[in-house]
């Protein structure tokens, strides 16, 4: 096949040909493109030279397409439509969107955020599904490698290729089963350290905020059981005399479904600041931006109402 040097081709002339097909008049085609009649005539001359055909000739009812003009009319229209689609701003319609979004999150943020997020998907983007990735440490590598669209968690330093947006600030509380004999009237520091604790170990790296705060006071607690998931820890506490320290938002959500009492922590511990992270390659993608905004809206709705399950 003969190779065409596209650098010598003026693709803007194809817009004139499209206008000629519609208007069947050089003058009217020029007006459509903002060209004077002489300028449109000169452009038609260049178009004929470029395509090696007259393309249009005068007929009884105005300009008529030559056989080659008839052959090119459809392909040129499709080519220009494709070009417009390429350069047009990307758009996203959640109501018609399909596919899936993969989010990496441990059960803490899954329980706090994703239930309401799934509800929003059901109402606003019914054909778009949520996939929760198998956690891998802090999930940063999953996002870097494209195995997750975004991650929710508490992150330290991040690679320069990742964006971060804070979601909220949270404090720690303690939960015990309703009717626990050792927590009537609240928790003193002495009573807190004497009780048997369930501790949730997610990454296995570093001390928890509670143990750091206790250590600063020269104290320790008795961790009777370690588990990798907050939900498992809460269920065990609901059926025992052990207690569990966890983020307040999560505690409130779990107490809606389990016989748990919320108790103020009898010491000052560092607050938690969950965030979502995503890769620069998807930062400008409208579908991804829509999902990020839904997460922000879920968090904002919780802040306004103090309960989960609020609607947008």
The pLDDT value given to residue 307: 45
The answer to the question of residue 310 being in a domain is no
**Judgement on whether residues 54 and 107 belong to the same structural domain of the protein:** no
In terms of C-beta density within 10 A (0-12 exposed, 13-18 middle, 19 or more buried), how is residue 102 classed? middle
- % of the chain residues with pLDDT over 90: 59
Total domain count, the chain:
3
**Judgement on whether residues 134 and 277 belong to the same structural domain of the protein:** yes
Q: Is it the case that residue 279 has pLDDT exceeding 80?
A: yes
- The answer to whether 294 touches 165, Cβ cutoff 8 Å, is no
**Judgement on whether residues 202 and 64 belong to the same structural domain of the protein:** no
**Judgement on whether residues 16 and 147 belong to the same structural domain of the protein:** no
pLDDT digits (tens, 9 = 90+) for 116-163: 999 999 999 999 999 988 878 889 999 998 889 999 998 988 999 999
Tell me the β-bridge partners of 153.
Answer: 275
Q: Is it the case that residue 2 has pLDDT exceeding 80?
A: no
Domain of 65, CATH number, reads 1.10.10.10
The answer to the question of residue 191 being in a domain is yes
Which of 37, 59, 87 is the last residue in one of the domains?
87
Domain containing residue 195: 172-264
The pLDDT value given to residue 107: 86
Q: How many angstroms separate the CA atoms of 212 and 207, rounded?
A: 6
**Judgement on whether residues 73 and 201 belong to the same structural domain of the protein:** no
Task: Tell me the pLDDT band of 278, cut-offs 50, 70 and 90.
Answer: very high
Which of 66, 87, 108 is the last residue in one of the domains?
87
Least confident range from 12-16, 70-74, 98-102, 303-307: namely: 303-307
Q: Is it the case that residue 306 has pLDDT exceeding 70?
A: no
The pLDDT value given to residue 177: 96
Q: Is it the case that residue 269 has pLDDT exceeding 70?
A: yes
The answer to the question of residue 54 being in a domain is yes
**Judgement on whether residues 203 and 236 belong to the same structural domain of the protein:** yes
The answer to the question of residue 94 being in a domain is no
Q: Is it the case that residue 207 has pLDDT exceeding 90?
A: no
Domain of 159, CATH number, reads 3.40.190.10
Residue found by looking up tokens 């938002």 in the block: 249
The pLDDT value given to residue 156: 86
pLDDT average, residue stretch 39-66: 91
Tell me the β-bridge partners of 162.
Answer: 279
The pLDDT value given to residue 295: 95
pLDDT average, residue stretch 103-110: 89
**Judgement on whether residues 122 and 182 belong to the same structural domain of the protein:** no
The answer to the question of residue 93 being in a domain is no
- The answer to whether 63 touches 56, Cβ cutoff 8 Å, is yes
The pLDDT value given to residue 80: 85
- The answer to whether 16 touches 36, Cβ cutoff 8 Å, is no
- % of the chain residues with pLDDT over 70: 92
**Judgement on whether residues 10 and 83 belong to the same structural domain of the protein:** yes
**Judgement on whether residues 260 and 176 belong to the same structural domain of the protein:** yes
Which of 87, 118, 145 is the last residue in one of the domains?
87
**Judgement on whether residues 145 and 182 belong to the same structural domain of the protein:** no
Q: Is it the case that residue 305 has pLDDT exceeding 60?
A: no
Q: Is it the case that residue 309 has pLDDT exceeding 50?
A: no
Q: Is it the case that residue 213 has pLDDT exceeding 50?
A: yes
The answer to the question of residue 311 being in a domain is no
Task: Tell me the pLDDT band of 89, cut-offs 50, 70 and 90.
Answer: low
- The alpha helices in the chain, defined as continuous H runs, are 12-23, 26-33, 37-51, 67-87, 107-109, 115-124, 140-144, 189-194, 209-216, 230-238, 248-255, 286-305
**Judgement on whether residues 132 and 278 belong to the same structural domain of the protein:** yes
**Judgement on whether residues 106 and 151 belong to the same structural domain of the protein:** yes
The answer to the question of residue 105 being in a domain is yes
pLDDT, the chain, mean: 88
- The answer to whether 209 touches 169, Cβ cutoff 8 Å, is no
- The alpha helices in 52-94, defined as continuous H runs, are 67-87
Task: Tell me the pLDDT band of 241, cut-offs 50, 70 and 90.
Answer: very high
Q: How many angstroms separate the CA atoms of 307 and 249, rounded?
A: 9
The answer to the question of residue 1 being in a domain is no
Q: Is it the case that residue 179 has pLDDT exceeding 80?
A: yes
């Amino acid at each position: 096949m003969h190779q065409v040097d596209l650098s010598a081709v003026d693709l803007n002339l194809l817009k004139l040909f499209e206008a000629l097909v519609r208007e069947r008049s050089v003058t009217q085609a020029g007006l459509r493109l903002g060209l004077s009649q002489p300028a449109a005539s000169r452009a038609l001359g260049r178009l004929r030279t470029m395509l090696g055909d007259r393309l249009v000739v005068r007929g009884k009812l105005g300009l008529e397409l030559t056989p080659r003009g008839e052959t090119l009319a459809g392909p040129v229209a499709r080519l220009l439509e494709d070009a417009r689609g390429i350069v047009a701003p990307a758009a996203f319609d959640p109501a018609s969107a399909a596919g899936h979004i993969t989010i990496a999150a441990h059960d803490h943020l899954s329980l706090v955020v994703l239930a309401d997020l799934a509800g929003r998907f059901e109402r606003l983007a019914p054909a778009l599904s949520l996939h929760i990735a198998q956690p891998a440490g802090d999930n940063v590598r999953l996002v870097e490698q494209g195995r997750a669209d975004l991650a929710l968690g508490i992150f330290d330093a991040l690679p320069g290729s990742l964006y971060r947006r804070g979601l909220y600030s949270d404090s720690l509380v303690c939960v015990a089963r309703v009717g626990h004999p050792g927590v009537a009237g609240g928790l003193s520091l002495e009573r807190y350290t004497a009780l048997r604790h369930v501790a949730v170990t997610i990454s296995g790296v570093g001390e928890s905020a509670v143990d750091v705060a206790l250590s600063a006071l020269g104290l320790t607690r008795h961790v009777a059981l370690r588990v990798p998931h907050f939900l498992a820890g809460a269920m065990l506490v609901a059926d025992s005399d052990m207690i569990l320290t966890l983020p307040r938002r999560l505690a409130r959500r779990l107490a809606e479904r389990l016989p748990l009492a919320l108790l103020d922590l009898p010491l000052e511990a560092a607050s938690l600041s969950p965030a979502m992270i995503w890769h620069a390659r998807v930062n400008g993608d409208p579908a991804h931006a829509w999902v990020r905004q839904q997460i922000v809206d879920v968090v904002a709705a919780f802040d306004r109402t103090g309960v989960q399950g609020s609607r947008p």
